[in-house]
Amino acid sequence: MSSRFLICLRFSGITRFRPSRGPGIPGGRTRRGPSGGPLGARASIRSAAAFAAVPKASSGASATTHPWHDAGMEPRIEFESDVFSSTGLTLLVDGTAQSHVDPIDPTRLFFEYTRRLGHVVDALGTPGARLRVLHLGGGALTLPRYVAATRARSAQLVVELDAEMLDAVLDRLPLPAGEPIERVVGDAASVIDTLSPGFDVVIVDLYSRLEPPDFVDTVPFMGTCLRLLAPGGVLAVNVADAAGLTRLRSQARAIARADPAAALLVAGDPGVLSGAEEGNSVLVAAPGGMPGGIRDRLLTQGPHPAGVLDGARLDFVLWGAC
Q: What are 264-275's pLDDT values in tens digits? A: 999 999 999 999
Residues in the chain: 322
Percent of the chain scoring above 90 in pLDDT: 70
Q: What are 141-173's pLDDT values in tens digits? A: 999 999 999 999 999 999 999 999 999 999 999
Pairwise CA distance, residues 186 & 137, whole Å: 10
With cut-offs at 50, 70 and 90, classify the pLDDT of residue 43.
Answer: very low
**pLDDT at res. 77:** 94
H or E segment and range at residue 265: strand 263-268
**Residue 309 exposure: Cα atoms within 13 Å on the Cβ side:** 22
For 48, phi and psi rounded to 5 degrees? -60, -30
- SS3 of 94, please? coil
With cut-offs at 50, 70 and 90, classify the pLDDT of residue 208.
Answer: confident
pTM, full prediction: 0.80
Query: What is the domain range of residue 136?
Result: 3-319
Residues 56-74, mean pLDDT to the nearest whole number:
38
State yes or no: pLDDT of 18 exceeds 90: no
State yes or no: pLDDT of 263 exceeds 50: yes
Residues 10-31, mean pLDDT to the nearest whole number:
36
Which of 35-44, 85-94, 286-295, 300-309 has the lowest average pLDDT?
35-44
Which of 5-14, 175-184, 280-289 has the lowest average pLDDT?
5-14
Q: How much is the mean pLDDT over the chain?
A: 82
For residue 165, the domain's CATH number is: 3.40.50.150
State yes or no: pLDDT of 235 exceeds 70: yes
State yes or no: pLDDT of 137 exceeds 70: yes
Q: What are 117-132's pLDDT values in tens digits? A: 999 999 999 999 999 9
With cut-offs at 50, 70 and 90, classify the pLDDT of residue 75.
Answer: confident
Higher pLDDT, 29 or 15: 29
Which of 67-71, 115-119, 159-163, 181-185 has the lowest average pLDDT?
67-71
With cut-offs at 50, 70 and 90, classify the pLDDT of residue 140.
Answer: very high
Q: How many helices (H) and strands (E) does the chain have?
A: 10, 13
- Where do the H-state alpha helices sit in the chain? 3-10, 112-122, 142-150, 163-172, 188-191, 219-227, 246-258, 270-273, 294-300, 311-319
Edge-to-edge order in the sheet of strand 229-241: 30-31, 181-185, 155-160, 132-136, 199-204, 229-241, 279-286, 263-268, 307-310
**pLDDT at res. 28:** 55
| Number of domains the chain is built from | 1
Residues 53-71, mean pLDDT to the nearest whole number:
35
